[in-house]
Amino acid sequence: MDTRDTPEQAELRRAARQLARELGPATVADLDDGARAKRLTGAVHDAGWLELRQDGGGGPVASGVESAIVADALGGAVADVAFTGPALAADLSRRAGCGATDSAVVGFAPNLIDPAVVPGRVAATPIYAVDAAEHVDVASVLVPTGPDYRLAQVQLDGPAEGADLTRVIRRIPAGASLADVHDQRRLLTHDDVAHWSALGLALTSADLVGLMRGVLDITVPYASERRQFGVPIGSFQAVQHLLAEARCLMEGSLSAALYASWAVDELAPDEACAAGRVAKAYCARAARTVCETAVQVHGGIGNTWECMVHVYLRRAVLSSQWFGDDGEQLLQIQRTRLGVDTPAAPSSGRPPGPAAPSSGRPPGPASG
């Protein structure tokens, strides 16, 4: 693959980063600015970014690379606007041959790793819709039909508690009833769900790359301005080492995430998933280190509500957990490369894709 941006991709990257910087939150207080958030939502909608994975006539409007470029840009500014959730819903609806407006979010199992699978007409366990826009009132779930799946819809309930201050998690309690999607033209196969999971891994990895770049963009200038013992703390070799390592982790994550986004539409489903798992394992682990480094370099103020770095750390918690963190991905890579099968048994309600741990809950509010 050629990792260089095409002229069109370079322009998309420039425009997405500029929009996110101008309309995203610059301070923690900006998260309460409803007028700003509304302008950001409108700008993302008008730009057509939510339609990148809709049907463009035989395939999506844009590739996984373009979708990841937008996810990276929004993550870099911790932009409080729904993107990955609607993009995943559009891709799943496209694969099922549904209309673009059938659903704007996908329901997930409580561990946030797998799409929710409901074998009957009523949900037996809670369902969580991640990164849902405010106006969205339904989520898509999978219903087993032989070896394949069909789409159904479930009504969204109120928000659930979570660490992320910039994206909404909606909780649907057990016992919610399903509604049919009448214009679905084809069933979803193992390959469809695997390719869709690869897209989810690529977009969450891209978001983590953006988060690392964004938190370093505010931490490095802080280290140049904050003075101790009469000199900037950035002149201390220990601080320089921390920031240099963080930069290297971000650059390594970018390389892995670029390949994963390219693989979504260019490789076979299992290969695309493997690329996504490697990227997610690297990015999730790196993002945790980079965000913690940012808190450390900020010193005492880094542990306060007013400091912006905790917003990046909180968002990284959700992006890491969504579709599985580094430990989950490494477990899946181990099973795949050792030839250990992890079949998706319809009776258990699990679709093909990353396996769920024995216990999993949406990440709760971050401490501190």
Residue 107 lies in a domain: no
SS3 172: strand
Q: Residue 66: pLDDT band by 50, 70, 90 thresholds?
A: very high
User: Is 339 among the domain residues?
Assistant: yes
**What is the DSSP code (8-state) at residue 24?**
S
How does pLDDT run across 262-307, given as a tens digit for each residue? 999 999 999 999 999 999 999 999 999 999 999 999 998 998 999 9
Which CATH number goes with the domain that contains 261? 1.20.140.10
| Domain contains 205 | yes
- pLDDT, tens only, 181-220: 888 889 999 999 999 999 999 999 999 999 999 999 999 9
Question: Which residue type occupies 85?
Answer: G
What percentage of the chain exceeds 90 in pLDDT? Answer: 77
Q: Which of 116, 86, 85 is nearest to 356 (CA)?
A: 116
Retrieve residue 204's tokens.
């969450």
Kindly state whether residue 136 falls inside one of the protein's structural domains.
no
Nearest to 50 by CA among 31, 71, 34: 71
pLDDT value at 342 more than 70: no
Q: How many domains does the chain have?
A: 1
Cα distance between residue 274 and residue 334, in whole Å = 11
Residue 368's pLDDT is what?
A: 34
Structural domain includes residue 37:
no
pLDDT value of position 135: 83
> What does pTM read for this prediction?
0.90
Mean pLDDT of 142-164: 90
In a domain, 29, yes or no: no
pLDDT value, residue 211: 98
**CA distances in angstroms from 81 to 171, 302, 324, listed in the order given:** 18, 25, 22
What pLDDT score was predicted for residue 182?
Answer: 82
Distance CA 89, CA 105 (A): 5
Tell me how crowded residue 162 is: count the other CB atoms within 10 A of its CB: 22
Q: Is residue 229 part of a domain?
A: yes
pLDDT over 90 at 234, yes or no: no
pLDDT of the residue at 349: 40
Number of Cβ within 10 Å of residue 306's Cβ equals 9
Average pLDDT over residues 97-108: 78
Structure tokens at 134: 């405010």
Assess whether pLDDT exceeds 90 at residue 83. yes
Structure confidence by residue, pLDDT tens digits, 295-314:
999 998 998 999 999 999 99
Q: Is residue 168 part of a domain?
A: no
**Domain ranges, residue 236:** 190-348
